[in-house]
Amino acid sequence: MFAYQKRLQYPIDIKKKDLKLAKCLLSQYGGPYGELAASLQYLNQRFSMPDGRGKALLTDIGTEELGHVEMICTMIYQLMKGATIEELKAAGLGGQYAQNDHALYPTDASGVPFTITYTQTTGDAIADLESNMAGEQRARATYEHLMDLTDDPDVLQPLAFLRQREIIHYQRFKELKNIYQKELKK
């Protein structure tokens, strides 16, 4: 079903270590508004869409969100690359190191582990699409907050790309919701 290409959707080449920003970026990996939660939510919801248009859109966007997980993980890894234990501790990542060394683990910026309860599904196409639209807006806002925390162009450019994709996803969900509201009379 999926065709994997061995390249990121947007090139990432971060040259400067920034552990505090890496910790903040964890919010878009394992946080409640993050890419992992969005991808699982959309790929789950697709089965209860009323027609092929909905199934296709949720499959496409859910798959793209998995690509965003890969981008966020790449950014976190590059921001942490070469960090010493003392640097990790100073950035509040001592617990991360204790359990995972420099490996990535899906948590939010506060260290709370990812939970499937971040995903929502009702089986009602309109309700699920409304939830997805709100989720895309929360993710957009989070990317804007992350962009406020750095002036590094190597970080800002992929964050801006990801923010723009959230806007596009919102628009696609809204278009489908409008179609369904007319067709399903809800």
pLDDT tens digits for range 127-163? 999 999 999 999 999 999 999 999 999 999 999 999 9
CA distance 122 to 12: 36
> Is residue 19 within 8 Å of residue 80, measured between CB atoms?
yes
Our count of domains for the chain comes to 1
CA angle 112, 77, 31 (to 5 degrees): 25
In this predicted structure, the answer to whether residue 186 has a pLDDT above a threshold of 60 is no
> Is residue 3 domain-resident?
no
Determine whether 166 is exposed, middle or buried from the number of CB atoms within 10 Å of its CB (0-12, 13-18, 19+).
Answer: buried
Domain range for 176: 20-184
Residue 12 lies in a domain: no
* Confidence tier at 36 by pLDDT (50, 70, 90): very high
Look at residue 39 and tell me if it is in a domain.
Answer: yes
pLDDT of the residue at 6: 78
Q: Is residue 168 part of a domain?
A: yes
In this structure, is residue 8 part of a structural domain?
A: no
- In a domain, residue 55? The reply is yes
Give the CATH number of the domain where residue 160 resides. 1.20.1260.10
Tell me the pTM: 0.94
